Chains A and B, each alone.
Chain A
């Protein structure tokens, strides 16, 4: 792939989109409260920078804590589930049941337990990230090649050696898939958490809460600015995971070997 197709084309598409945007606004005389032009969004973002910045910090914090605790918890649960057939058969239906329960239903219960504020928002983020990680990692840990397991059995590897040197690396691509899904969901969890458990005090309002404020004040360009900022946070997480995944798998996994075969 040349630099042109990698960077040039997306750039051309972006410019076309922008031209269409401004074209439509002037042609159909769309009012600012329906679709503000880009420069108004940038301007509003600058005017509301303090609120947006504080909101971003708050939301990023909820995202980070929720995301990393869900990785830690998800991996531990997956290892337990994959360690024995009984644990898996016994516990997995209930994990599925929990997963099936919409977060909207669980949220009020969480707020009863953890109160309004960051704690509840983090728990909601955690829950949204947790299941894709558990589902994928457990599947990965359970689908180790049977010949590889025989190989480790012949050389009398103990359970830990088998887990660390065989099951875990074999599950890595599945784990990374789970992480990618979770990373994309992380800001959704935190922003949704804001709307149900957020607090309006000056430095405690996350982006989701900021959005609610802008909405109630009818600050439409600022609303668009908030959308762009949350997008950026999402990109941060997805980008981080993509980087880690590339580092972990590039040497051996099929998904990264397309360029090498040429």
Chain B
């Protein structure tokens, strides 16, 4: 019933011929999935995301993005660790940048940008420059920029890592609310177990040295999820389960002699 969107087969990445950051990895992501990638530093989370985005080429293996639409311009969007807004552009022009690159004309661009800004509640900040915004607002602009192209696949690399917990929780809820509207598929890198459980339909736990998938934990909590979800017993149990898996993964590095990466 579920339609596969991304299929990774034996994908690995070795830098400079010696430094293997990702051992051969299989992963399939269904359309509408919200996948979180969690794991200790150096387990290849960001590498995995950049491989899917096509920013780096795999050393071996294949990455298929099933719907041809996604690989063509605009159907894939990326949210970076820091907001990566261009400081010389206003919020409006930053959000409109992907459309400008895609060659959309000004009128269409402005209409789409205004709609997206309204969606994330930033209409009042349209004329401001990034330096005038708080960290949380910058991140919202960054997400708005990713959403202007109406993407099918959204790749997010620890977007809220630098924010305080309150802002992070609020933005998590907002992210899910935005997803209700258009149901994009998401791959989300994070260090926070609670964030991963709250957002995801599946949490992929990675292990280090070399980076590889240790285990995948489905999160059967129903959407829409709200702040109430966080106080449920099921939520607490899932957080515990992922935390245990994470600790197990951390101690299972190949260097420590616990067997094959596959």
Contact = CB atoms under 8 A, between A and B. Distances in A.
A155 interface: yes
Nearest to B98: A155
Contact of B78 (A154, A166, A172): A154
Contacts, number: 53
Nearest to A153: B55
A151 B131 contact: no
A156 B87 contact: no
B131 A155 contact: no
Nearest to B146: A154
Interface residues of B, number: 25
A148 interface: yes
B55 A150 contact: yes
Contact of A257 (B81, B84, B131): B131
B102 A166 contact: no
Given A155-B73, A166-B86, A257-B131, A150 B80 contact: yes
B interface, over-half SS: loop
B55 A165 contact: no
A166 B77 CA distance: 18
Given A147-B84, A252-B88, A253-B87, A155 B55 contact: no
B84 A145 contact: yes
Given A147-B82, A151-B80, A252-B131, A156 B73 contact: yes
B23 to A, nearest CB: 24
Given A154-B53, A252-B131, A148 B78 contact: no
Given A156-B101, A161-B101, A251 B88 contact: yes
B71 to A, nearest CB: 10
Interface string B126-137: 000111000000
A145 B88 CA distance: 14
Contacts of B208: none
A157 interface: yes
A37 interface: no
26 contacts: A147-B80, A147-B81, A147-B82, A148-B84, A150-B50, A151-B78, A152-B101, A153-B54, A153-B55, A154-B78, A155-B74, A155-B97, A155-B101, A155-B149, A161-B101, A165-B86, A165-B97, A165-B100, A169-B86, A251-B88, A251-B129, A252-B87, A252-B129, A253-B87, A253-B88, A257-B131
Interface of A: 145, 147-148, 150-157, 161, 165-166, 169, 172, 251-253, 257
